[in-house]
Structure 1
């Protein structure tokens, strides 16, 4: 890799300094049968070499950079991949699958809900379909209009994001103008996942969610009633308590003397 890096610096007319060369090697195991194996290389973020081995062992190589190895070296590399690297990679995958089979083979169903946001001034409704809490990570989340997928140019989102508990989430959104809301289209959020026996379809109403409106007269009466009650309460607690003294009469004095 060091030799190739120095060669690519000169070939791509890079100046001396900090450069990054990357190599990714992987293989797959399908139902306990060896699958593909691949090697990808990039230099400063630009891919330039790709090699794949099919299930039958056929080699497919794509070169963007010039070949700097001889024919004998290339044949030796092919032999190493076929008889050493690929069997080693497959054996490591089998060990990992045996150790982590309970986690790797887990199936967790997605929780799907629809979120709608309404902008009053523009009259636009954004409809979002969110699927979260599912495992494994592969999922098919699609927004449909009249049973057909919505144009990709109109759909936003779609990135697969991890959750803190090891599951995943994905959301997709589409915006509808006021005119599109008046048209009689049906919108559906459809989800397929390994944990689901059948696909999950959720119908979406294109307009904004209904809002409960209190009649204005009743609302004003409630407000005035509360205001009046508040004013009366404030007056009662603001006025000091009054004590009335009544002067005693002569008759009262005589009555008191007779009692004594």
Structure 2
């Protein structure tokens, strides 16, 4: 259960704005664990858009660079105080949540997505908290507006003095520190953030009982935003008929996405023309790959009824037993002939 909750941090990446939208962002994906585990009590992954740039945990108490980036760690060390403050804040919030939600024994996880993005030339600070995978509260702040979101009857309430202190803290420390770090990282990591890698698009066909599965695969592209559409005879296929569609990391800093359509034997006989269309920032025009159903024996998938399959299996067993019995008799006769001594 703990591993699943820790993996939920990666799902928060869906909020991260990539360079495909023309906006850039810096995020801290933090986890605080209450209870005995093999993991550090507090961990943070720093992300520039969708690129992991640094890592911090409570055991090392320092920022480490990830393999995906060339940023100098010294540039980030003066911001360690923000992460330490986040550590203390999440410890306090977890203790309050345990009391409010009656969380006693066992392992419990508080997750936080905190960071800033530049929208219309202005930095905006965003923070969301979740306890054991359920959202509890969040904050959105720019230089002119401060909004607080929280679940009904949530334990944390601020009086006027605390509210004024929080707004001062966010406007004078957190937001400027995040915006400055974002600017530095964008300058240093421009090569990674602004790169454009063309997708490779393929059509895959797999025979299944009752027809075939057609899969449109786009892989090894960056940035992660892509539009993938399947056409039948030039007309877009309804998304409800397709499976897949989630953009996933490839492990090499690039991404992949696939969509699958199940086609019946009857539809294969009609020999429709299927087209996979990809639209991406790296492409001047749409990339298209087509596949046409050629109904032949290779597409015909025999379907054997249950009684027929049982009879066929029984017949094969009878033949196998008969063959083994005959073979054993032949071996026995050869042995007897070898034991007979010739008469003198």
What CA distance in whole angstroms lies between the structure 2 residues aligned with 1:13 and 1:76?
29
User: Counterpart of 2:108 in 1: which secondary structure?
Assistant: coil
TM-score of the superposed pair, with normalisation by structure 1: 0.70
Q: Alignment length, in residue pairs?
A: 207
Aligned to 2:211: 124
User: Counterpart of 2:176 in 1: which secondary structure?
Assistant: helix
Aligned to 2:268: 181
1:202-257 C-alpha deviation (Å, 9 max, x unpaired)? 3332556896xxxxxxxxxxxxxxxxxxxxxxxxxxxxxxxxxxxxxxxxxxxxxx
Structure 1 residue 187: Cα displacement: 3.4
Aligned to 1:255: none
Structure 1 residue 125: Cα displacement: 1.3
Aligned to 2:200: 111
What CA distance in whole angstroms lies between the structure 2 residues aligned with 1:90 and 1:209?
61
Q: Say if 2:124 is the partner of 1:36.
A: yes
Aligned to 1:225: none
Structure 1 residue 88: Cα displacement: 1.2
User: Counterpart of 1:67 in 2: which secondary structure?
Assistant: coil
Q: Residues 10 and 182 from structure 1, CA distance in 2 versus in 1: closer, same or farther, beyond 3 angstroms?
A: same
Aligned to 2:161: 72
Q: Residues 95 and 178 from structure 1, CA distance in 2 versus in 1: closer, same or farther, beyond 3 angstroms?
A: same
Structure 1 residue 17: Cα displacement: 3.4
Which residue, 197, 216, 221 being the options, matches 1:134?
A: 221
Q: Residues 208 and 70 from structure 1, CA distance in 2 versus in 1: closer, same or farther, beyond 3 angstroms?
A: farther
Q: Is the 8 A contact 1:114 1:128 kept in 2?
A: yes
Aligned to 1:83: 172
The runs of 4+ residues in structure 1 deviating greater than 6 Å are: none
User: Counterpart of 1:107 in 2: which secondary structure?
Assistant: coil
Unaligned runs of 5+ in 1: 212-260
Q: Residues 165 and 5 from structure 1, CA distance in 2 versus in 1: closer, same or farther, beyond 3 angstroms?
A: closer
Structure 1 residue 180: Cα displacement: 3.4
Which residue, 119, 125, 145 being the options, matches 1:58?
A: 145
TM-score of the superposed pair, with normalisation by structure 2: 0.54
Structure 1 residue 174: Cα displacement: 1.2
Which residue, 83, 93, 97 being the options, matches 2:182?
A: 93
CA RMSD of aligned residues (A): 2.7
Q: Is the 8 A contact 1:159 1:170 kept in 2?
A: yes
Which residue, 10, 18, 24 being the options, matches 2:107?
A: 18
Q: Name the larger-Rg structure.
A: 1
What CA distance in whole angstroms lies between the structure 2 residues aligned with 1:57 and 1:133?
41
